[in-house]
Amino acid sequence: MSNFARQKEIAIQYGDIVIYFSIKARSVNIEKISIKVHPDCSVAVYAPLIASHDEIIGAVKKRAYWIYRQQCYFERRREYILSQRYVNGENHFYLGRRYRLKISVDARYIPEVKLYRGVLEVRSRMIQPENIKFLLLNWYRARAREVFDRRLDVIITQTHWVQHKPPIRLLSMQTQWGRCSLRGRLTLNPHLVKAPRECIDYVLLHGLCHIAEHHHSERFYRLMKQVMPHWEKVKERLNGLTYFYLNDV
């Protein structure tokens, strides 16, 4: 059985494999040790400032089987999901639906992207994949800004603690769908627009809850349950689709 080897600060032995992990944050505002497995199989541990090294190691060992299962899950998905080549016939996603990529090339075309009847058409003057990718990613960013802004208008009414609509910044990220700054600005991954609306709403609500409570405390999870009672199932669904949406970031 192969090791999930990573250049990390700490490692533990679990059976015949080694689990590498890094301690990402130690803060008085973090109430308990939490562990996150990213789609690239890296493991991050978030711990209270008062947690000892032995307590952190113990928490990772206690959840070693869960960590191993998560890493196996992501490894299996990686095996059969290929990076996009930006050629005719590929599948690309938008709002949770698959669309077949159609590339139309003509020196007279004004470069543009159109969506219709199950087809995502890129009209270009050049057929090179890097050019098709550039046009398509720009289209995704434009659609993302429109969709995120529209969905934010809808769901912000559920968050009575938000006094003003927060600004949105788009940033392509390999392991995150979004984050919220201390000043209340939402940074969102434009590739999130490939996901179903419910998943987009989950990420937006997650950010809005962080405006009230910046850390993943009990209060934060109470707010999440209040605005989206089934948020854990939606999160699990989005995590399961990660490689489809972020396979070429």
Residues 87-109 pLDDT 10s:
999 999 999 999 999 999 999 99
Number of neighbouring beta carbons within 10 Å of residue 195: 25
CATH of domain 90-247: 3.30.2010.10
pLDDT digits (tens, 9 = 90+) for 38-81: 877 889 898 888 889 899 999 999 999 999 998 888 777 665 55
Residue 28 confidence class, pLDDT cut points 50, 70, 90: low
Q: What is the pLDDT of residue 248?
A: 65
Instruction: Give the tens place of pLDDT for each residue, 127-156.
Output: 999 999 999 999 999 999 999 999 999 999
CA–CA separation, 204 and 185 (whole Å):
11
Shortest CA distance to 35 belongs to which of 5, 52, 58, 60?
60
Q: How far apart are CA 231 and CA 201, in angstroms?
A: 10
Which position has the higher pLDDT, 82 or 40? 40
The percent of residues above 70 in pLDDT, for the chain, comes to 90
Q: What pLDDT score does 7 carry?
A: 38
Counting residues of the chain whose pLDDT is more than 90, the rounded percentage is 64
- Residue-range domain boundaries for the chain: 9-80, 90-247
| Residue tagged 């398509």 (tokens) | 136
- Do 35 and 60 touch, CB atoms closer than 8 A? yes
Instruction: Find the mean pLDDT for residues 179-190.
Output: 93
Where residue 29 falls among pLDDT bands split at 50, 70, 90? low
For the whole model, what pTM was predicted?
Answer: 0.74
> 3-state class of 220 per DSSP?
helix
Q: Measuring CA to CA, how many Å separate 77 from each of 41, 82, 104, 126, 177?
A: 11, 10, 31, 33, 18
